[in-house]
Amino acid sequence: MTILLYAASVPVFQQLLGSLDQLLAKAEAHAAERKIDPDALLQARLFPDMFPLAKQVQIACDFARGVSGRLAGAELPVFDGEQKTFADLRTLVAASLDFIGGLDPAAFEGGESREIVLRPGTPKERKMEGRNYLLHYGFPQFFFHVTTAYDLLRHNGVEVGKRDFMGNY
């Protein structure tokens, strides 16, 4: 059985970006109700050498846009990475949802064999076929950062559970 690349990717990103938006809304409400400085949550880490919550959200959005856009052969939007508030992060999530929601499913045709060229943090190029890029690089990276954002909120007392993580499907 063949699964179309669009159907296997964009709806998954949409589902979890939607849940990420709701997690951020709950975190913002949690901070307001308990009179916690929002920055205490936005800069929360589980260990000093890891990225804080705000960066985890930014990276998750980057992967959702980047993977979807590359598989569709689309030009990627650029964001400054300067989101500092819950409102800023929710705006980024909304912009990411708008971008991937605006991609034409037909543009994904042939994307499973499209060569994807990455330059992740080094001058060396990494090339992979679209299918492998999605399944073995893009999804794991995206899920890691969404899960870490969830874990940071849960660890810091925001009342969220598995249903919040899963979102609407």
Measure Cα distances from 75 to 68, 126, 150, 167 in Å.
Answer: 10, 19, 29, 28
Kindly report, residue by residue over 102-118, the tens digit of the pLDDT: 999 999 999 999 999 98
Q: What is the reported pTM?
A: 0.94
d(Cα 25, Cα 27) in Å, to the nearest integer? Answer: 5
Specify the pLDDT at position 81: 84
Residue extents of the structural domains in the chain = 7-166
Query: According to DSSP H, which parts of the chain are helical?
Result: 5-33, 38-42, 53-72, 86-101, 130-132, 139-155, 162-166
The verdict on domain 7-166 having CATH code 1.20.120.450 is yes
Measure Cα distances from 12 to 6, 34, 90 in Å.
Answer: 10, 33, 18
d(Cα 132, Cα 116) in Å, to the nearest integer? Answer: 9
d(Cα 86, Cα 26) in Å, to the nearest integer? Answer: 10
Interaxial angle between packed helices 53-72 and 86-101, expressed in degrees from 0 to 180 and rounded to the nearest 10: 10
Kindly report, residue by residue over 114-150, the tens digit of the pLDDT: 999 987 666 778 899 999 999 999 999 999 999 999 9
User: Tokens at residue 108, please?
Assistant: 């994904």
